[in-house]
Every structure is written in structure tokens, then in C-alpha cells.
């Protein structure tokens, strides 16, 4: 059965070759490139070649790439030169997807309006929403710039729902751009924090083109293996099965909040290969169970 695991399950910088091999050895058929998802790092041809070599040696395929919103290059910056630099950063990931023979899409974080589960000062909410609206206009300009690049590479961007996202801007993205170039990445963990927001995805499931599947207790973005905390995965399976999503289910897992993590080693690169492999072997069983549930519900 085809199943995908994120590359940064134990650190998102440094050694990617062992991570690709370990994901494949655990039984996953695809991996999701999530290294440098929040940096200004630009990948180049020698890196493409080495990553492609590693995935072919491991017998695994690339699904999606998590593009970076950037730091000093940010595709929704209100400063124009920073926004344009951010567009170049996204272009780099689009080119990378083609170079690595990726079968999926580019996943991006974008401005969003927040759902406030507890009362906050109205002035704060108003100030926040004003800034987000300006950032939203900036990302629309960036998407306009990126449409020809997406067409050239025949791929799509998936906008991800984020923590406390009220989905208020998602329709703007979906209405403005065609389904063959833009859709949604559904992060069930984000939707479970501070209240279940799964109903919002249900309304827009015809535009689902990427998944980030993981678990948490509703209090934070813990990225735990599925079936270990509070998310209703029967509902998740039914949602995905009845949606437009046809690619392998993609799991965005982290070793950090599990018993396999050695808390005495703060640096992910210090975690042992044995513990990484044990984590993936254990997590794979839950991933396989959910993949079978999705298939059965179709």
C-alpha cells in the first residue's frame, strides 16, 4: 500500500540521505520533502542530484515538497523586495519538485485569519486582521507571479490550514485561482488544536490536493503518530475518501514527542539511528491502519 512520510521526522536540516533510506526501510513508498520548510535555504543542482540518487537507491518516490514562507525572503511580505525574493524561494521549490520527479505538489503556509476560542481584546483582533489582510494582498500578487511557473512545470500549490485558522481567507485563494494550479493541504493536527475545525475542510474537500496527517491532544502541534491522541481518524478517513484527494496519504510525523526521543540529546542530529528506525517502524503501523481505512471508505 502506498504511504508517505515526512523527511524531517527527526530534524529538518543536515543528513537527508539516511532519513530517506530509513523511511523506505520502514515500509513507506513515498517521502515528503520537509527539510528547510521555514528557512531561506536555496537548493541547487548538486543537491538535487544527490537527493535523487538517494531516493533511487532507497527505492522510494518523492510526493510533495513543503515550500518555505521564508525569513528574509517571504512571499507575503509587505515589503516589496522581500516579497519578490520570497517568490524566488517558492520558484526554487517548484523547480526542485520537477528535478526530483515529485508526484505531488508544493505545500505553502499563507496568511490566514484566526479563530479565537477565548475572548481577547477587540483592538488586538482588529489590528491582527488588518495586518493579515495586507499580507493576504501580498500573497495574491505572489501567486499571480507564480502562475506561469506552475503552468510551465505542470504542478500546483496547496495552501495549508494552520493553527487556529478560521478558514476565512481560504475561499479567496480557491475562488481566484483554478483547481489545476491551486488547492488545499489539510493538516488534521492543526484542525484539532483549540477546537475541532474539520467541518471547514468538509465544505472544501473538492479542492483537497495534499495531506498532513498526525495526532495531538488538542493543546499543541505535537505531530505524534496517528491513533495515539485525540483526533477522530474515522472522520478523517471518511473525509479524505470522499474528497478529490487521490495520492498516497501523507504523514507529517515527529519523533520528538514520543518515547523514542532521547531528551538528553537536544539536537535531533544526535538521536541514534536505532531510535529513528524504531520510531518509524512503530509509527508505520498506525499509518498503514489509516491508509487501509481510507481505502475501505472509498
Give the pTM.
0.96
Q: What is the pLDDT of residue 249?
A: 98
Sign of the C-alpha dihedral computed for residues 188, 161, 224 and 21 taken in this order: positive
Over residues 51-102, the pLDDT tens digits come to 999 999 999 999 999 999 999 999 999 999 999 999 999 999 999 999 999 9
Q: How far apart are CA 184 and CA 158, in angstroms?
A: 5
Closest Cα partner for 255 from 293, 281, 220?
Answer: 281
Q: Do residues 43 and 16 touch, judged by C-beta distance below 8 A?
A: no
Rounded Cα distance, 198 and 186, in Å:
9
For the chain, domains (ranges, CATH) are 4-297 (3.20.20.150)
How does residue 123 score in pLDDT terms, banded at 50, 70 and 90? low
The vertex-200 CA angle with 62 and 170, nearest 5°, equals 70
CA dist 246 and 152 (Å) reads 23
* pLDDT band, very low/low/confident/very high, at 124 (cuts 50, 70, 90): low
What integer pLDDT is reported at residue 223 of this predicted model? 98
| Chain segment 157-197, per-residue pLDDT in tens | 999 999 989 898 999 999 999 999 999 999 999 999 988 88
Amino acid at each position: 500500500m502506498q504511504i508517505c512520510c515526512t523527511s524531517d521526522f527527526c530534524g529538518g536540516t543536515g543528513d537527508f540521505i539516511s532519513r530517506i533510506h530509513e523511511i523506505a526501510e520502514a515500509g513507506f513508498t513515498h517521502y515528503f520533502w520537509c527539510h528547510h520548510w521555514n528557512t531561506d535555504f536555496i537548493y541547487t543542482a548538486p543537491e538535487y542530484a544527490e537527493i535523487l540518487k538517494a531516493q533511487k537507491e532507497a527505492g522510494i518516490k518523492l510526493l510533495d515538497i513543503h515550500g518555505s514562507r521564508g525569513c528574509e525572503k517571504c512571499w507575503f511580505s509587505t515589503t516589496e523586495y522581500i516579497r519578490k525574493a520570497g517568490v524566488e524561494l517558492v520558484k526554487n521549490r517548484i523547480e526542485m519538485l520537477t528535478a526530483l520527479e515529485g508526484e505531488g505538489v508544493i505545500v505553502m503556509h499563507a496568511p490566514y485569519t484566526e479563530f479565537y476560542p477565548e475572548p481577547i481584546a477587540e483592538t488586538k483582533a482588529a489590528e491582527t486582521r488588518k495586518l493579515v489582510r495586507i499580507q493576504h494582498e501580498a500573497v495574491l500578487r505572489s501567486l499571480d507571479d507564480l502562475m506561469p511557473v506552475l503552468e510551465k512545470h505542470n504542478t500546483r500549490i496547496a495552501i495549508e490550514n494552520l493553527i487556529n485558522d478560521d478558514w476565512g481567507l481560504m475561499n479567496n485563494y480557491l475562488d481566484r485561482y483554478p483547481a489545476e494550479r491551486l488547492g488545499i493541504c489539510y493538516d488534521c493536527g492543526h484542525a484539532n488544536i483549540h477546537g475541532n475545525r474539520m467541518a471547514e475542510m468538509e465544505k472544501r474537500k473538492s479542492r483537497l490536493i495534499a495531506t498532513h496527517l498526525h495526532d495531538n491532544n488538542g493543546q499543541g502541534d505535537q505531530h505524534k503518530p496517528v491513533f495515539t491522541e485525540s483526533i477522530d481518524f474515522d472522520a478523517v478517513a471518511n473525509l479524505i475518501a470522499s474528497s478529490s484527494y487521490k495520492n498516497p496519504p501523507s504523514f507529517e510525523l515527529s519523533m520528538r514527542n514520543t518515547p523514542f526521543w532521547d531528551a538528553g540529546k537536544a539536537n535531533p542530529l544526535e538521536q541514534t539511528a536505532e531510535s529513528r528506525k524504531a520510531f518509524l517502524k512503530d509509527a508505520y503501523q498506525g499509518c498503514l491502519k489509516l491508509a487501509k481505512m481510507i481505502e475501505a471508505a472509498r
